[in-house]
Amino acid sequence: MEFREFYQVLGEKIKDGQFCLDEPLQKHTTWKVGGPVDILYRPHDPEECANVLQLAAEYQVPVTILGAGSNVLVADQGLRGLVIVTEGFRKISWEQHQVIAGSGVLLSHLSRLAADQGLSGLEFAAGIPGSLGGAVVMNAGAYGYSMEQLIVNVKTIDLAGKRKEYYQEDLAFAYRYSIFKQRQELITEVKLTFQPGNIAKIKEQMNKYLMMRREKQPLELPNAGSVFKNSRQGAGRLIESIGVKGWRVGDAQISEKHANFIVNLGQAKASEIRELIREVQIAVKEKCGIDLETEVVFLGFEDNRR
């Protein structure tokens, strides 16, 4: 399908957002891999974004929502249609113990802002890559805490351009799951509630979590966070126990520091990362009888299943 006509229509009707053609998605993923997309869109205004989605539906243009590009693996051939990155949705409004924040706000940044105001609840997010919107979709969490404990409501736009609002009880939260895993909707803003706390103690806890991550996780190399969902044994410990730590396919490597991370040593391809993921799954199945399921979302592959 040729999307140039759609691109021209966007240029005529949309004035605020930013568009570009044939944008390499490796610039927009934390793994630093991924081929080009026909049209990349950076919205700043939810109403305008709704209009763009209405136009995309009218012109039958496929839409992918990327957020900050963590926790995803984009194929080397890239994606067709329109990719929306939410980095422009970064408005933050505080009211007592609550915040309304745009989905493009980085989760780690929001956790620091909350700490500065003596608000507790998001300490676990210190050092976690990714956006607030992505954290809601995945129900991100660590150290016994998760997003579901903080969320009041979430505003979205569906692929037809319809604005929606959900409350905490609507979102069917479970381990690394929300209703948005099954619904392709663009989150625009999230309302969170915190508990008042002592600023010094909150920051001390955040620094502790951050030091633990720096010691145990390969933050110095491009990665997408935890690749596999944790089993009872812990995915990292399970993978390490079968002796595959350090396995490589091209420049994709099972991290020497943490076996549930795959790092890009410099020139890794998405196909190499995908192959390495499959090799680990096969090895764990053969030696332990366990099916490892990925946290990572696959985009643009012939088979996007996990």
226 is catalytic: yes
**Range 92-214 classified under CATH 3.30.465.10:** yes
**Range 219-299 classified under CATH 3.90.78.10:** yes
Q: What is the predicted pLDDT for the residue at 91?
A: 95
278 is catalytic: no
Q: How far apart are CA 108 and CA 52, in angstroms?
A: 29
Residues in the chain, pLDDT under 50: none
CATH number of the domain located at residue range(s) 4-84 in this protein: 3.30.43.10
HSE value, Cβ hemisphere, 13 Å, CA-based, for 259: 19
Catalytic residue among 103, 120, 146, 226: 226
- Average pLDDT of every residue of the chain: 93
Q: What is the predicted pLDDT for the residue at 17?
A: 64
As given in the structure block, the two tokens for residue 70 are 């963590």
Q: What is the predicted pLDDT for the residue at 1?
A: 53
Q: What is the predicted pLDDT for the residue at 176?
A: 87
Catalytic residue among 176, 185, 189, 272: 176
Q: What is the predicted pLDDT for the residue at 62?
A: 95
Which tens digit of pLDDT belongs to each residue from 65-86?
Answer: 998 888 899 999 999 999 999 9
146 is catalytic: no
Q: Matching CATH topology for 92-214 and 219-299?
A: no
Q: Which residues, 6+ apart, have CB-to-CB distance to 219 below 8 Å?
A: 127, 213
Q: What is the predicted pLDDT for the residue at 89?
A: 95
Q: What is the predicted pLDDT for the residue at 5?
A: 84
Q: What is the predicted pLDDT for the residue at 16?
A: 67
C-alpha angle 198-201-207 in degrees, rounded to nearest 5: 140
Sorted by where each begins, the domain ranges of the chain are 4-84, 92-214, 219-299
As given in the structure block, the two tokens for residue 173 are 């939260």
pTM of the entire structure?
Answer: 0.90
Q: What is the predicted pLDDT for the residue at 13?
A: 80
In the chain, pLDDT over 90 holds for what percent of residues? Answer: 80
Q: Return the closest-CA partner of residue 115 out of 193, 197, 212, 208.
A: 197
Catalytic residue among 87, 123, 189, 295: 295
CA 212 to chain centre: 21
Q: What is the predicted pLDDT for the residue at 222?
A: 96
Q: How far apart are CA 242 and CA 47, in angstroms?
A: 51
The type of residue at 283 is A
